[in-house]
């Protein structure tokens, strides 16, 4: 046996990360394992730390250059790992575990639950569960304590990882127990630990606790209260994230895109709060799995249904009634959940003495349903769907409209191994509307629709506790019918598109302090014939139609790199940064200055409408207190946007066959700072945030080619929502929302031509509506039936408690004192439109 050791190291060999990747040059031969390790450590001036009992091979044969991990595997076996910590080379054995985290009472998957690895009382690693409640992690065998926590649930600790079951069940914490959770808080993955930046999760509890218009909790109204998000005010489900248009938000229900999430002209969203289990909003640091929109992702997940027992919940309010029923199809194996809502204001209209009101009908209904089947521990399938429809008919004017969304999702979760998880998804979604104008004397009706047929494959690979890779791809076929009616000559030619993407993303734990996630998404957009397209003459005055044959006639594509980085200053403070490039191949064309968005027209990129591209740079500081009772965060962002869409002066969209020729494109900029404080535990919980932001756009053909503020540029935004438990039975809630008034254009003078007063404006959006602010209060009183099957509560809410008439818009016309006023007047005046003063509501909620 030759004990002579000959090591030839590269001259540039160094400590730390370089050692991880550098190949060590060792003269081929047979070596004593312990001595070889000692020599390697000595050469790199590292102290060596390992358990000799873990050595599998006392002697090793070296045949050439090799990496340190390869050497360690030769000596310690397959599950051996090393870490470099404070000039110490630590060698250890690891193990991989995976499973699901679920609600103990209902079997519902808990999305975003933290699975923490604790050693010596300190958090040393961990993950959060994915959208299916699944987790996988690798941990050193010396780190045996696993702690699982989720807001509103009793945490669970396993002292030995061998004891961790495939399905970890957490019991919901009662009000009283929530205080125990505070004082007995366990280590969990906190805001400072993840590399998520500009991300927000809204749990059903937070959603339910907030005061709501007409007592109906609404996820989009909650999103509108978040820092970096602004809205049109009341009566709108539009929201604008960090200077992006409302169509730059990817809104999804169980992975199916929702193209118009509005009910009742925008007073409510399509999302029934009872059916929602988790909502995530990404404003920056958008994972590579998401694409197709520039500014944000709103990922809404439906409940799976109680797989233990038949249960239900619902509410009866002044405006709507809702009901949820869920239960097992086969206990522990399969479950269902069905929800339904309907408003009934139209029923009260029929009681009116006024004929106009009596013959007016405005209502909506929606139904959601989900089934899930656990085929075996490695396979699970889900089927979910949404169907909703709105109707507004004014018979006295022979005017009506209806609109609605449909989504269908089928998913198959498969666990290939301890490390590889997949989700295959088939998606259908649709938005359409119809406008009945039979009373107009010339127009019969007008319809528009957009369908989406999609397939997705997503994979998660947990390589080790340092490397977590996600990859996959998607393809969607989207037929657009932007507008058509009885007259084919007016119809906007339909367009068919294919949108495809491949992505890969690696979450790389560089060290205990550094976490780097880098990914690349590559998207491809194709216009598919046959189709009718337009050619515009060079002077822009002549439009000629061109018939495209079958096949692809236009395509766009490009990379979308995404990077996130987190550096932990210590256990309670971290800094983060991110860069996102996003691309968007479809847009809404709208010229409405009001909030409601029923008549949005989706139109894809074309020869004349180039894909929108954005680059966002974001950085932030995150802090949490020792018991995680308080979180503080601040974020800065700058977003540069290309090919932003604006409409030409005096353009009109509805019934315009050549509407795409009305589009002008230019550059956009958005920047701002967001500050947020969250109180997570105790009797008083809530969030206070402040945002300062600006957003502007420059289009060569508009506004003399100068930058002008977008219609949602609202520099100051303050939002507060809080919940306070007076007792076990009584909870108070409050929302406060302030934002600078939205930019708009008022005429500053007029001139008379042909007897008409023609308005004169200054620059685009050079004036503002009055500032918006509103305070909502609510009280929830639970009935004394805590321990009974039937549990109920009353919620009394006051929306806009101080009765402020916030302007939805201001317009100039002949004096109009109310909507029924047809009297002629030569006097012209500015009119403010507003939706509500104070709106009291009372809702009876129940569950069984």
Partner 1 sequence: MKYILLISLLAYSCIEIVNVEEVQNISGTLVVEGGITSELKRHQVILTKSHGTTGKANPEPVTGAQLSIYDSRDTEYILTEQSSGMYFTDSIAGEVGEVYTLVINYQNQRYEAIDSMVASAAVGPIALQPLNVSQSISGTQYFEFFYRDNFGSSQPYTYTITSEIAKNVKDYYPADWQPADWLQKRLDESRFVTTDSTYYLLPGLEPPAILAYGRTNDSRNLYGSIITERFYSMSPKYYAFIRAMLSETDWKTLGPFGYQSANVPGNVSNGAFGYFHASDVYLVSQEIQK
User: Within positions 532 to 591, which residues make up the interface with partner 1, using CB under 8 A?
Assistant: 541, 591
Nearer to partner 1 by Cβ, of 559 and 837: the residue is 837
Q: Are 590 and 656 in contact (CB under 8 A)?
A: no
Query: Which residues in 680-771 belong to E strands, given as ranges?
Result: 684-698, 708-709, 716-725, 730-739, 743-744, 749-753, 756-760, 767-768
List 809, 844, 846, 847, residue binding partner 1 (CB under 8 A): 809
Radius of gyration over alpha carbons of the chain, in Å?
Answer: 30
Minimum CB–partner distance for residue 221 and partner 1 (Å): 17
Q: Before 754, cis peptide (omega within 30)?
A: no
354 binds partner 1 (CB under 8 A): no
Q: How far apart are CA 136 and CA 144, in angstroms?
A: 15
DSSP 173-201: PPHHHHHHHHHTPPP---TTTS---SEEE
Q: Please, what is the minimum distance in Å from the beta carbon of residue 209 to partner 1?
A: 28
For partner 1, give the closer residue by CB, 128 or 491: 491
Instruction: Tell which one of 197, 654, 670, 797 touches partner 1 (CB under 8 A).
Output: 654
Among positions 27-46, residues that touch partner 1 (CB under 8 A) are: none
Burial 161-194 (b: 16+ CB within 10 A, else e): beebeebbbbeebeeeebeebeeebbbbbbbbbb
User: Which of 323, 397, 571, 732 touches partner 1 by CB under 8 A?
Assistant: 397
Q: What is the DSSP string of 239-267?
A: EEETT--GGGEEEEETTEE-S--EEGGGT
The rounded distance, in Å, linking the Cα atoms of 363 and 443 is: 24
Which of 354, 551, 813, 842 is the binder for partner 1 (CB under 8 A)?
813
Give the residue ranges of DSSP H helices in 315-468: 345-349, 355-358
Nearer to partner 1, 150 or 446 (CB): 446
Of 122, 176, 650, 789, the one binding partner 1 (CB under 8 A) is 650
Task: Name residue 56's beta-bridge partners.
Answer: none
Near partner 1 by CB under 8 A: residue from 808, 841, 843, 845: 808
Using the rule CB under 8 A, which residue among 91, 109, 302, 598 binds partner 1?
598
Comparison of 381 and 833: residue with beta carbon closer to partner 1: 833
Q: Which of positions 179-198 make contact with partner 1 (CB under 8 A)?
A: none
> Pick from 6, 547, 832, 840: which binds partner 1 (CB under 8 A)?
832
| Nearest distance from C-beta of residue 258 to partner 1, angstroms | 20
Stretch that binds partner 1, among 11-19, 83-91, 185-193, 813-821 (CB under 8 A): 813-821
Among 757, 775, 779, 796, binds partner 1 (CB under 8 A): 757
> Of residues 765-794, which lie at the interface with partner 1 (CB under 8 A)?
767
Q: How far is CA 252 from CA 406, 433, 582, 583, 729, in A?
A: 12, 19, 17, 17, 35
Q: Quick check: 815 binds partner 1 (CB under 8 A)?
A: yes
Options 473, 816, 844, 847; binder of partner 1; rule CB under 8 A: 816
Please tell me whether residue 701 binds partner 1 under the rule CB under 8 A.
Answer: no
Residues 200 and 650: their CA atoms lie apart, in Å, by 39
Inter-axis angle of helices 33-43 and 68-76, nearest 10 = 150
Number of residues that bind partner 1 (CB under 8 A): 80
Q: From the list 2, 122, 353, 756, which residue makes contact with partner 1 (rule: CB under 8 A)?
A: 756
- Asked if 751 and 741 count as a contact pair (C-beta separation under 8 A), the reply is no
Q: Where are the beta strands (DSSP E) in 113-241?
A: 114-119, 122-128, 134-140, 145-149, 156-158, 167-170, 199-202, 229-231, 239-241
Residue 538 or 752 with smaller CB distance to partner 1: 752
CB of 487 to partner 1, least distance (A): 8
The H or E element containing residue 773 is strand 772-782
- Binding of residue 286 to partner 1 (CB under 8 A): no
Q: Is 83 in the site for partner 1 (CB under 8 A)?
A: no
Cα–Cα separations (whole angstroms), residue 101 to 106, 188, 251? 12, 14, 25
Task: In angstroms, give the least distance from the CB of 768 to partner 1.
Answer: 10
> What is the x/- site pattern for partner 1, positions 705-724, by CB under 8 A?
--------------------
Cβ distance to partner 1 smaller for residue 267 or 525: 267
Q: With the CA atoms of 479, 484, 487 and 492 taken in that order, what torsion angle do they form, in degrees rounded to the nearest 10? A: -70
Q: What are 805's two structure tokens?
A: 């008439």
Alpha carbons 557 and 521: distance in angstroms, whole number: 11
Q: Which stretch binds partner 1 (CB under 8 A): 174-182, 206-214, 409-417, 652-660?
A: 652-660
* Smallest distance, partner 1 to C-beta of residue 482, A: 13
314 vs 322: CA distance, rounded Å: 5
Q: In angstroms, what is the minimal distance from the CB of 417 to partner 1? A: 54
What's the token pair of residue 300? 């809404």
Is the Cβ of residue 543 or residue 569 nearer to partner 1 in the bound state? 543
Using CB under 8 A, which residues numbered 206 to 225 contact partner 1?
none
Taking the complex as a whole, the smallest distance from the CB of residue 356 to partner 1 amounts, in Å, to: 10
How far is the C-alpha of 625 from the C-alpha of 309, rounded, in Å?
A: 39
> Which of positions 488-527 make contact with partner 1 (CB under 8 A)?
490
**437 or 719: whose CB is closer to partner 1?**
437
State yes or no: residue 741 binds partner 1 (CB under 8 A): no
Binding mask 227-246 for partner 1 (x = CB under 8 A): --------x-----------
Rounded CA separation 99/413 (Å): 13
* Nearer residue to partner 1 within complex by CB, 148 or 435: 435
Verify binding: residue 663, partner 1, rule CB under 8 A.
no
Degrees, nearest 5: CA angle 184-189-191: 105
Residues 600-639: x where in contact with partner 1 by CB under 8 A, - otherwise, as a string? ----------------------------------------
One residue of 62, 252, 435, 641 binding partner 1 per CB under 8 A: 435
* Alpha carbons 596 and 804: distance in angstroms, whole number: 20
Q: Which stretch binds partner 1 (CB under 8 A): 133-141, 152-160, 564-572, 819-827?
A: 819-827
Alpha-carbon distances, residue 202 vs 280, 550, 651, 775 (angstroms): 6, 45, 39, 21
* Binding window for partner 1 (CB under 8 A); candidates: 610-618, 682-690, 777-785, 834-842: 834-842
Minimum CB distance to partner 1 smaller for 150 or for 431: 431
Closest among 231, 260, 265 to 245, alpha carbons compared: 231
Assign 3-class secondary structure to 82-106.
Answer: EEEECCEEEEEEEEEEEEEEEECCC
Q: Nearest Cα to 386, choosing from 433, 432, 340?
A: 340
DSSP letter at 160? S
Q: At closest approach, how far in Å is the CB of 225 from partner 1?
A: 22
Question: CB 762 → partner 1: shortest distance, Å?
Answer: 7
Q: Is 645 in the site for partner 1 (CB under 8 A)?
A: no
Is 71 in a helix, a strand, or coil?
Answer: helix
**Which residue stretch of 208-216, 415-423, 596-604, 690-698 sits at the interface with partner 1 (rule: CB under 8 A)?**
596-604
Q: Taking contact as CB under 8 A, which single stretch among the options 278-286, 309-317, 438-446, 471-479 is the one that binds partner 1?
A: 438-446
Residues 439-478 that bind partner 1 (CB under 8 A): 440-443
**Comparison of 3 and 753: residue with beta carbon closer to partner 1:** 753
């Amino acid at each position: 046996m030759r004990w002579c050791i000959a090591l030839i190291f590269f001259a540039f060999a160094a400590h730390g990360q370089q050692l991880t990747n550098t190949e060590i040059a060792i003269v081929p031969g047979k070596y004593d394992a312990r001595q070889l390790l000692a020599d390697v450590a000595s050469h790199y001036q590292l102290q060596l730390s390992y358990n000799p009992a873990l050595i599998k091979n006392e002697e090793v044969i070296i045949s050439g250059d090799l990496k340190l991990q390869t050497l360690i595997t030769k000596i310690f076996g397959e599950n051996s790992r090393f870490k470099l910590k404070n000039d110490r080379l630590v060698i250890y054995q690891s193990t991989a575990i995976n499973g699901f985290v679920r609600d103990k009472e209902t079997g519902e998957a808990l999305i975003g639950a933290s699975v923490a690895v604790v050693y010596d009382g300190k958090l040393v690693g961990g993950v959060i569960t994915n959208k299916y409640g699944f987790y996988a992690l690798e941990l050193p065998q010396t780190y045996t304590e696993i702690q699982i926590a989720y807001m509103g649930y009793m945490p669970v600790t396993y002292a030995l990882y061998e004891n961790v079951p495939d399905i970890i069940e957490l019991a919901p914490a009662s009000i009283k127990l929530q205080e125990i959770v505070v004082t007995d808080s366990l280590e969990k993955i906190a805001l400072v630990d993840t590399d998520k930046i500009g991300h927000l999760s809204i749990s059903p509890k937070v959603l339910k606790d907030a005061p709501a218009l007409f007592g109906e909790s609404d996820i989009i109204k909650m999103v509108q209260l978040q820092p970096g998000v602004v809205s049109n005010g009341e009566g709108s489900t539009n929201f604008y994230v960090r200077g992006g248009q409302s169509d730059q938000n990817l809104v999804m229900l169980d992975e199916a895109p929702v193209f118009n999430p509005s009910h009742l002209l925008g007073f409510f969203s399509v999302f029934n709060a009872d059916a929602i289990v988790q909502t995530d909003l990404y404003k920056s640091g958008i994972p590579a799995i998401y694409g197709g929109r520039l500014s944000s992702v709103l990922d809404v997940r439906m409940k799976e249904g109680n797989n233990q027992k038949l249960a239900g919940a619902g509410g009866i309010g002044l405006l709507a009634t809702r009901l949820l029923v869920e239960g097992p199809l086969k206990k522990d194996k399969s479950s269902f959940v069905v929800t339904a809502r309907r408003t009934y204001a139209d029923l009260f209209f029929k009681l009116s003495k006024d004929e106009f009101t009596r013959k007016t009908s405005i209502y909506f209904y929606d139904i959601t349903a989900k089934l899930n089947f656990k085929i075996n521990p490695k396979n699970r399938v889900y089927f979910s769907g949404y169907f909703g429809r709105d109707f507004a008919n004014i018979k006295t004017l022979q005017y009506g409209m209806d609109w609605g969304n449909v989504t269908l999702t089928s998913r198959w979760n498969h666990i290939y191994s301890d490390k590889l998880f997949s989700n295959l998804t088939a998606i259908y979604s649709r938005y359409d509307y119809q406008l009945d104008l039979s009373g107009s004397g010339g127009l019969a009706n007008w319809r528009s629709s957009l369908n989406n047929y999609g397939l997705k494959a997503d994979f998660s690979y947990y390589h080790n506790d340092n490397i977590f890779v996600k990859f996959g791809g998607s393809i969607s076929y989207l037929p657009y019918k932007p507008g058509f009616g009885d007259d084919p000559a007016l119809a906007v030619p339909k367009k068919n598109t294919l949108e495809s993407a491949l992505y890969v993303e690696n979450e790389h734990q560089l060290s205990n302090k550094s976490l780097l996630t880098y990914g690349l998404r590559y998207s491809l957009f194709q216009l598919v014939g046959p189709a009718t397209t337009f050619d515009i003459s060079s002077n822009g005055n002549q439009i000629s139609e061109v018939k495209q044959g079958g096949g692809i006639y236009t395509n766009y594509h490009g990379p979308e790199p995404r990077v996130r980085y987190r550096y932990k200053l210590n256990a309670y403070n971290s800094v983060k940064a991110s860069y996102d490039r996003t691309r968007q191949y479809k847009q809404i064309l709208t010229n409405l200055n009001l909030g409601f968005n029923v008549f949005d027209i989706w139109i894809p990129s074309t020869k004349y409408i180039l894909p929108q591209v954005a680059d966002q740079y974001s950085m932030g500081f995150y802090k949490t207190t020792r018991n995680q009772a308080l979180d503080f965060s601040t974020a800065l962002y700058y977003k540069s946007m290309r090919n932003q869409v604006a409409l030409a002066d005096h353009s009109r969209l509805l019934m315009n066959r050549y509407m795409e020729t009305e589009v002008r494109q230019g550059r956009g900029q958005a920047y701002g700072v967001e500050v947020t404080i969250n109180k997570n535990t105790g009797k008083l919980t809530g969030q206070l945030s402040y945002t300062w932001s600006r957003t502007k756009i420059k289009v060569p053909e508009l506004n003399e080619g100068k930058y002008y503020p977008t219609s949602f540029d609202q520099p100051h935004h303050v939002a507060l929502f809080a919940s306070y438990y007076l007792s076990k039975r009584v909870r108070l809630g409050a929302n406060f929302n302030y934002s600078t008034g939205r930019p708009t254009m008022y005429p500053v003078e007029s001139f008379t031509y042909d007897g008409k007063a023609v308005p004169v404006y200054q620059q685009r959006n050079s004036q503002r509506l009055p500032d918006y602010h509103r305070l909502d209060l609510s009280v929830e009183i639970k009935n004394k039936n805590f321990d009974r099957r039937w549990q109920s509560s009353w919620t009394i809410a006051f929306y806009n408690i101080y009765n402020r008439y916030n302007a939805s818009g201001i317009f100039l016309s002949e004096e109009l004192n109310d909507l029924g006023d047809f009297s002629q007047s030569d006097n012209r005046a500015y009119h403010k439109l507003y939706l509500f003063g104070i709106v009291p509501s009372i809702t009876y909620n129940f569950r069984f």
